Structure 1
Amino acid sequence: MHAHKFLNISSIIFISLVVYQIIRQLYAPYWEEISGISYGVITGKPEWLAYQNRLLGPYLIYLISLLGISYISAYKVFVLLSILVQSFTLVVLLKNIGETYQSSINYLIIYSFMYIALQEYSFYSWDNIDAVLFMFFVWGILRSVSPLLFIPLFLVSIFNRESALFIGIYLIIDAFNIEINKSKRINIQLKSVKELILGIILLILGIAYTNLIRELLFISRANGFPDEQHMILGNHFNLEKNLFDLFYENFISMHSANSLFIFGSIGYLLYFVRQYSQPQLKAFIIFICLVLNILVFGIIHETRLYVVLLPFLIFLHQNIKKVSSANRFS
């Protein structure tokens, strides 16, 4: 028993180290640049105003650097640790929902492959933390955990990135019963006023906190100039350009995989939508919200933004597979 457990833990560590070595080589020309962007959050001079509230990762790296190493070296240590945490978190959560160690490690290999495939030229500390937090997020959705348990997750997430707002959005959605009947009509009925209010409160607090931190801590962009382009919304607005790239430009360029990933993942999850339980349906709705967020506020070619989608794909696929197996033998 102990030998088997040791082998499983060793496998997780080995996979994580392989992923880290690949990441380390991929970003060899960019370590100084991406660590500088992270450090800019600490100094109040990030690359963009939108980065200023993303405090958790940069300060964790700073704490590591207090061990007597440079911020760049601390960044590499942080990446290694975050990959290890992602790997162990994924396996533990999959085990929690009924997977064996072997099948959980198989899912980890698939996740690691997709994680590597999404790397390009920029991958920041908050992206790695988001990967872990969203594993807990989608696990909590599919396990229908108490809404109160999402509060600590929100409090940690909001220090990392404004993507924590999706926790508030989920609680608003979860306050309703949502069903697709046999005639393909969607029935929506309020089930919890308290959860609805909680979701609205977290959403308002998250937006207020994000704007306040940006206003208090932001001095200028890294180049010394103000970020006047984003002073109103505090973020990019790229919907028109992203839609053009998604439906046309990507297919005549080297970015066709981006469109295929988005269309393929949505198509796969949508194919099974009529089989979804309420938790699965709500997880799928959040997945769609995340994709829309990328299209509206992100840059579709920045594939690091897709990392938060991976936990949803892994856990929803696991749920779909489980339901399909149950139906086959029923």
Structure 2
Amino acid sequence: MDMLLAASDGVLSGTPHWRAFQNRLLGPYLLDLFRHVSQNPFNDFAKVFLMLENLALCVCAYVLTRRVSLTVLALVASSVAWVACIHYFSYPWDFIESVLLTMLFLFAIRSERIFPFVLLFIFFVLSRESCIFVGLFLILRGVSPIAFGQRIALRPLTWGAGLVVMSIAITEALRKMLFKASMLAGVGADTAHEQFENHFHYLHNGTVFLSASKVSLVYATIMLVFLACTYVGYREKEKNLLAIGVTMTLYTLSIFIFGILEEVRLYQPFTGMLALTAIYLLFETRSGRKWCSTNLSLLARRGSIRT
């Protein structure tokens, strides 16, 4: 707990553990506010943001499905997945990103306007460098009609490109202007994180993935859900579903390249979005309803379930 608080406080003083933390300002500033009302600020911060994530998840699930049963199912599935990804390093920005990603899926499916994504980007860019995927989604929404023989949508393409450029510029500026030195012994100027790409871990992660461990199973499951989203979006000519599927597939792939698969905290922000994606694909798309009808009927005939 002391290390987590120190990592957060270090962002505010310009001396975080790593340069890569320096642009993650929103979480540390909010956590600092909790000190004024709590004797155990990190725990209470985590409780509040877990409740916010659950609330956001329930609202998004109900808006997407209009069914209480599926809303409860999304909540239970997300909670189980979160517990399965418990890690002793869960930073404040991990909790914030969980809420933002959940909202991103709702906006991606339901909103044709640009404003919700710009608003989401403002919070995202002050929380984590993954804000770049908000712009990437808009770019993909703009170009995805090509897959269906339609014209490119210039407005989301232009806005998306602008947000991608801003993501890189703001992240780089904050890291280089605010970072003074690492508080960890022997790290100093943290030259390993001077570049936007951070570390490359794909060789190590390849070994971990091929080990068929719990971690590789979790990672493979996440990738399969987003690949399924991409496939269904393409098959049903749903440009929004296709765009968010490709976006999150690339996000998951970025963890393989730049992250460390054993750090299961990296998967926690995905849990709400994963639950929403899976339930939406199964119950709100033609392909999903057809699959459920065929397979559930087969199980019923075999006596595996009661009808």
TM-score over 0.5 (shorter chain):
yes
Q: CA deviation at 1:86?
A: 0.7
Note closer, same or farther for the CA distance 1:232–1:265 as it changes in structure 2 (3 Å cut).
closer
Q: In structure 1, what is the Cα distance between the partners aligned to 2:99 and 2:170?
A: 22
Q: CA deviation at 1:109?
A: 1.2
Which residue does the alignment assign to 1:7? none
Match of 2:31 among 61, 64, 71: 61
Q: In structure 1, what is the Cα distance between the partners aligned to 2:66 and 2:182?
A: 46
Matched, 1:134 2:95: no
Q: Which shifted more, 77-86 or 215-224?
A: 215-224
Match of 1:101 among 68, 71, 87: 68
Structure 1: gaps of 5 or more residues: 1-30, 180-185
Which consecutive aligned stretches of 4+ in structure 1 deviate over 4 angstroms post-superposition? Answer: 186-190, 326-329
Which residue does the alignment assign to 2:216? 259
Q: CA deviation at 1:268?
A: 4.8
Q: In structure 2, what is the Cα distance between the partners aligned to 1:269 and 1:42?
A: 35
Which residue does the alignment assign to 1:151? 118
1:36-93: CA deviations, max 9, x gaps? 21111111111111000000001001011123x45xx111110010011011111111
1:272-326: CA deviations, max 9, x gaps? 7244532222221112111111011111111111123323321221222222337
Which residue does the alignment assign to 1:200? 161
Q: CA deviation at 1:191?
A: 2.3
Q: CA deviation at 1:234?
A: 5.8
Note closer, same or farther for the CA distance 1:279–1:120 as it changes in structure 2 (3 Å cut).
same
Q: In structure 2, what is the Cα distance between the partners aligned to 1:188 and 1:292?
A: 27
Alignment of 1:162-241 (within 5 A): 162-178=129-145, 186-187=147-148, 189-223=150-184, 225-233=188-196, 235-241=198-204
Q: CA deviation at 1:101?
A: 2.7
| Structure 1 counterpart of 2:89, one-letter code | S
Matched, 1:81 2:48: yes
Q: CA deviation at 1:142?
A: 1.6
| Structure 1 counterpart of 2:21, one-letter code | Y
Alignment of 1:47-58 (within 5 A): 47-58=17-28
| Structure 1 counterpart of 2:215, one-letter code | N
Which residue does the alignment assign to 1:33? 3
Structure 2: gaps of 5 or more residues: 295-307
Q: In structure 1, what is the Cα distance between the partners aligned to 2:254 and 2:47?
A: 28
Q: Report % sequence identity.
A: 26
Matched, 1:118 2:75: no
Contact 2:215 2:261 in 1 (8 A): yes
Q: In structure 2, what is the Cα distance between the partners aligned to 1:132 and 1:195?
A: 23
Q: Which shifted more, 90-99 or 124-133?
A: 90-99
Which residue does the alignment assign to 2:302? none
Note closer, same or farther for the CA distance 1:268–1:154 as it changes in structure 2 (3 Å cut).
closer
Note closer, same or farther for the CA distance 1:230–1:268 as it changes in structure 2 (3 Å cut).
closer
Q: In structure 2, what is the Cα distance between the partners aligned to 1:85 and 1:268?
A: 24
Q: CA deviation at 1:144?
A: 3.9
Which residue does the alignment assign to 2:269? 308
SS in 1 for 2:16: coil
Q: TM-score, normalised by structure 2?
A: 0.85
Q: In structure 1, what is the Cα distance between the partners aligned to 2:180 and 2:20?
A: 13
| Structure 2 counterpart of 1:208, one-letter code | A
Q: In structure 1, what is the Cα distance between the partners aligned to 2:228 and 2:157?
A: 29
SS in 1 for 2:108: helix
Q: In structure 1, what is the Cα distance between the partners aligned to 2:153 and 2:225?
A: 31
Note closer, same or farther for the CA distance 1:223–1:266 as it changes in structure 2 (3 Å cut).
closer
Contact 2:142 2:153 in 1 (8 A): yes
Q: In structure 2, what is the Cα distance between the partners aligned to 1:168 and 1:195?
A: 9
| Structure 2 counterpart of 1:147, one-letter code | I
Q: In structure 1, what is the Cα distance between the partners aligned to 2:184 and 2:110?
A: 46
C-alpha RMSD over aligned residues: 2.1
1:157-177: CA deviations, max 9, x gaps? 101111111000001100023
| Structure 2 counterpart of 1:86, one-letter code | E
Matched, 1:42 2:12: yes
Note closer, same or farther for the CA distance 1:108–1:210 as it changes in structure 2 (3 Å cut).
same
Q: In structure 1, what is the Cα distance between the partners aligned to 2:184 and 2:108?
A: 41
Q: CA deviation at 1:269?
A: 4.9
Match of 1:296 among 247, 253, 257: 257
Q: Which shifted more, 189-198 or 76-85?
A: 189-198
Q: CA deviation at 1:110?
A: 1.2
